[in-house]
Amino acid sequence: MGQYAAPIRDMQFVLHEVLNVEAELKYMPKHAELDADTINQVLEEAGKFCSEVVFPLNQSGDREGCTYEGDGVVRTPAGFREAYRQYVEAGWAGLGCDPDYGGQGLPAFVNNALYEMLNSANQAWTMYPGLSHGAYECLHAHGTPEQKSTYLPKLVSGEWTGTMCLTEPHCGTDLGILRTKAEPNGDGSYVLTGTKIFISSGEHDMAQNIVHLVLARLPGTPMGTKGISLFIVPKFLPDAGGAVGARNGIKCGSIEHKMGIHGNATCVMNLDGASGWLVGEENKGLNAMFVMMNAARLGVGMQGLGLTEVAYQNSLVYAKERLQMRSLTGPKAPDKPADPIIVHPDVRRMLLTQKAYAEGGRAFAYWAALNIDKELSHADDAARREAGEYVALLTPVIKAFLTDNAFEGTNLAMQIYGGHGFISEWGMEQYVRDARINMIYEGTNSIQALDLLGRKILGDMGAKLKRFGKLVAEFVEAEGVKPEMQEFINPLADIGEKVQKLTMEIGMKAMQNPDEVGAAAVPYMRCVGHLVFSYFWARMARVALDHAASGDAFYTAKLGTARFYFAKLLPETASAIRAARAGAKPMMDSDEALF
């Protein structure tokens, strides 16, 4: 079955020693009284819940999967419903939610850490509450007072769950061509007709009700994304008292049989005269849904981080125990018939790759969540705007870079296990299968790369990227004169300059040929991802150096991993830059007959 223990020490290192969150919270009035001890207690309790309640269901849930029993009824794997009951009763559903609706009001970075642990423990199970939190965020931002009072307390408590219904059989990310219709009833409600596919958590037996957020077209609206509206379509209509009432006309028609995440129901949802209510303004549904979509993209990044961490933990245990051959420099375990495979250089390369991607991703993701808190709660307007720009710029990087790395990390776990990794008993092949979807949904990683380069960077002439570059430059200037930091600062400064130059080159070429953006976007994404990781690994190295004299093995390991990252992983950017510069010609000038 494998094992999972929440990486509490590293979480605390990132939050308290690298990000200094307690000091940051003093500038956010609603969080100013929160201290490090309270944060640590929450993390520790969350870690226990994840390892003791949710993780044991991961492999069994994958084997059993969800079952479609006909007439819209879906049964989740054994134990899922009971684990969700415990999750709700413990108050985890409302951890980061507004106290006005029953939430605990903790910062986004605490909720983010919870979801890292949940995803390490069981990604398929975590998708049920994860999507619910996205629905909460959307309605909290765009719902009417009546909608908020009806739905938010139930979503915050976890009594009801939520979904996002976007994709249709003929359209995925290109939502401008969706066909689901919404006809006004004349009483403020609408009748919705259409079919949605690939709806995660669309039907299940874990909660009383499911609140679907559905994109649809009103009569006579223009084609394209400007003609899309957003609607609340609950599985059961709330009665006058807000309790579950009559069955609505939205029903699961079937569930998908998938490569991975078997414990989560991926549904075809049929809307047959379903009652719905408009969220936000007519024809501006995509604007409202983007709140949930961006939350989901950050959430998918946490899925990638969670899987990278659990894959590393299991790989490390196996590498220390599995005996295979002798070290090239002589026996390291002479009392045994062979040495443990961790003595071999390439096994260490794989382990350190997993570790560097997990710990670098944790620092990056927690910093992004802290900036969400700043954007929402900081007392200073300029600080809020700056934080919002960081989040907008780097959301696609969190989604794509962390999930690309997770797929590599889980594949490395399977490789470290060798033949045992390929069979289901040890659980590594499940992590590979589960990790693969994260590169596809909520906008494929290619689309995230286009969003980063085309919209977030070239769209504002590089203003947001320059703001992040200034953050990097200030750190380089402060630390670059210190001899002990040269091995980290020099490569950080180098990749910063190269990304700036590459951005200008692509921008100039794109003015002549827009295909240059599409051709360069994916390798460019890898470069920006490494720029961000280089910045955080250099910051973590600074903290570790400050504690080097303590003799604490944690800081020694942190420094060693930082050195590995800069020596062995950052050089990927050389080939990525060369690929990005190669441009569109090798693809777009080819005769179609060659394909």
Contact 390, 468 (CB under 8 A): yes
Question: Rounded to the nearest 5°, which phi and psi values hold at 276?
Answer: -140, 165
Dihedral sign, CA of 443, 203, 279, 92? negative
Contact 235, 185 (CB under 8 A): no
Alpha carbon 568 to its chain's center: 25
Alpha carbon 260 to its chain's center: 17
Which H/E stretch holds residue 235?
none
Give helix 553-564 / helix 345-377 axis angle, nearest 10°. Answer: 100
Query: How many C-beta atoms surround the C-beta of residue 476 within 10 A?
Result: 19
Query: How many C-beta atoms surround the C-beta of residue 310 within 10 A?
Result: 30
278 strand-pairing partners: 231
Catalytic center residues:
442
Inter-CA distances, 571 with 9, 230, 440, 492, 518, Å? 29, 44, 26, 11, 23
Q: What gap in Å lies between CA 479 and CA 297, rounded to an integer?
A: 33
Identify the residue whose tokens are 């490494």: 530
Total residues found in the chain within this entry: 595
Per-residue tokens: 76:
């989740």
Alpha carbon 514 to its chain's center: 29
Q: What gap in Å lies between CA 94 and CA 28, rounded to an integer?
A: 20
Q: What gap in Å lies between CA 125 and CA 115, rounded to an integer?
A: 11
Inter-CA distances, 52 with 46, 85, 121, 425, Å? 10, 14, 9, 20
Identify the residue whose tokens are 């039907």: 203
Q: Would strands 236-238 and 244-247 be described as parallel, antiparallel, or unpaired? A: antiparallel
Inter-CA distances, 137 with 147, 242, 282, 507, Å? 13, 20, 19, 35
Q: What gap in Å lies between CA 232 and CA 366, rounded to an integer?
A: 31
Name the nearest CA neighbour of 176 among 207, 215, 220: 215
Name the nearest CA neighbour of 308 among 350, 347, 346: 350
Residue type, 367: W
Question: Is residue 185 packed enough to be buried (19+ CB in 10 Å), middle (13-18) or exposed (0-12)?
Answer: exposed
